[in-house]
Chains A and B, each alone.
Chain A
Amino acid sequence: EAAVTQSPRNKVAVTGGKVTLSCNQTNNHNNMYWYRQDTGHGLRLIHYSYGAGSTEKGDIPDGYKASRPSQENFSLILELATPSQTSVYFCASGAPANTEVFFGKGTRLTVV
Chain B
Amino acid sequence: AQKVTQTQTSISVMEKTTVTMDCVYETQDSSYFLFWYKQTASGEIVFLIRQDSYKKENATVGHYSLNFQKPKSSIGLIITATQIEDSAVYFCAMREGHYGNEKITFGAGTKLTIKP
> Given A90-B45, A106-B43, are A50 and B106 also a contact pair (CB < 8 Å)?
no
B25-44 interface bits toward A, Cβ cutoff 8 Å, 1 = contact, 0 = none: 00000000101010000011
> Is A30 at the interface (CB under 8 A from chain B)?
yes
Q: Which residues of the other chain, A, contact B45 by a CB distance below 8 angstroms?
A: 43, 90, 92, 103
B106 and A43: CB pair below 8 A? yes
State which residues 79-109 of B face A: CB under 8 Å: 91, 93, 95, 99-109
Nearest B residue to A104 by beta-carbon distance? B45
Q: Which residues of the other chain, B, contact A105 by a CB distance below 8 angstroms?
A: 43-44
> Is B15 at the interface (CB under 8 A from chain A)?
no
Distance (whole angstroms) from the CB of A88 to the closest CB of chain B: 7
A40 and B108: CB pair below 8 A? yes
Interface size class of B (residues with CB under 8 A): 20 to 34
Interface size class of A (residues with CB under 8 A): 20 to 34
Q: Which residues of the other chain, B, contact A41 by a CB distance below 8 angstroms?
A: 108
How far apart sit A106 and B46, CA to CA, in the bound complex (Å)?
13
How far apart sit A16 and B95, CA to CA, in the bound complex (Å)?
34
How far apart sit A90 and B6, CA to CA, in the bound complex (Å)?
20
A42 and B100: CB pair below 8 A? no
Q: Which residues of the other chain, A, contact B33 by a CB distance below 8 angstroms?
A: 97-98
B105 and A100: CB pair below 8 A? no
Q: Which residues of the other chain, A, contact B103 by a CB distance below 8 angstroms?
A: 45, 48, 56, 58
